[in-house]
Chain A
């Protein structure tokens, strides 16, 4: 009896240890010193969450009119805008290269190319097959134009930060005046959601160093800056949410497919597990072990 009790205890402890071990990996990933991101209340959260197409369209508009002036998205092509679950997906055009909205959006942009006749560098209208135009010809130019640090590519930004979409939303809408006692460095801005350690720049109470860090990017959004035609509020908060959702989509464009496939896989495995367990019980029936 004792042996059995101990064995089940050991099983319990071992299972707990494994679960604990998995959890232990997570806190190691948290960045230190920054304020915890606020929730953007996104539609794509949770196991059944999907992207809100209207929000992705607005987010693209904000990216295109504001962010794209400095930030590239080198992993994105204009055709991606018409992909399934993307901002301009239209079931009538399973091949997004045929999607007229996508074609029109691409055409608004000029991209560098080589003239196939003369070999001279030219500018031409983009096509759906083109990559999103980079604001700078190369990384050195990007750094030179921004005080020495190139603005990061935004293609996978929502995966490159912990709690990505909420982080982007919080950062963009979370600029506030630096607390008194904080020395702001030249060309830097205070943001409570930016990772960093402000201790060296803090002259106030040592036990209450403000959360956050310095960011080179000045507050990029203003109320009314981008015109929405769907009646959504034209506020910094809404812009930040929409562009965060857009970047979440560019980071993980197959998320909806992934979750939908996962649902089928889990249901299948549950049924398979039930059948296998029933067979197992039947085969072992009457066999002492």
Chain B
């Protein structure tokens, strides 16, 4: 087990070894992707908040800093990470902690993604070590930055296959004064998507829209109390539902923690996560007729619980977008395309980008296959 003390040590270790490496910060996301054969690179020593400036809406921390410490520090100043990094550990049944580096490397984003953006939209800058042992930086500590390529965007969602993050800078946002969630009935996916589109196309500033079958369509409002009240009234008027239930404050927060993490689907051995144009969701659900599912992002994110992977059938139901085999037993992941397969010039370009960073494919080899 390789366990660097700090960034300089990490660079030394990478430069003086030639084996395949599996960088691990907290470990909670290790079971996503194709299984990797490599020496574990334990990054847990690279932790700690380096600087936090609430007035500047910016925080810098070492990559293996536990997400909890960051969220705690932020809440003391009534701030938060707007992209809502959900906790998938119950769904995955994984051990291991959640870190800010892992959240960014896996682009972990919750229900608010539709209005606030994903983790990648809040990732301003970083320090990292390349597979050649080079220590480098990308981005900066400010939001308005077109100086050179936007490397943070490339590293976000790259699942540790391009470089090893050592320090990250993220944008932080004020936490709202108040939150409430409206739940209204919907007969099925088609009615749900229509209802969500109606809400999201309004000026009510809905910050999350999900459909939990047998529960209903859920729409969240956040902000200053008088504003949330007024917008809630406007939303009810616009939707004119047969019934409605409001969840306030902590009840609303708990609800979205569960939805974002697809908790109702936890019992299934196979979990698919689809990203599609929201309007396509009803057709996809009808074609696949899944045992269990949940819609988030107004229909743009579909979670499916199943007994068997059936990758070709699932991906065959998509007109556009992609499907990730989010959770499956190791043997299934080893023999199935976990990430949406690429083809043609895009596949070739992707391979060249990977080779530009990691020509010998040392980092998490094959993970994104």
A is bound by B: no
* B contacts, CB < 8 Å to A: none
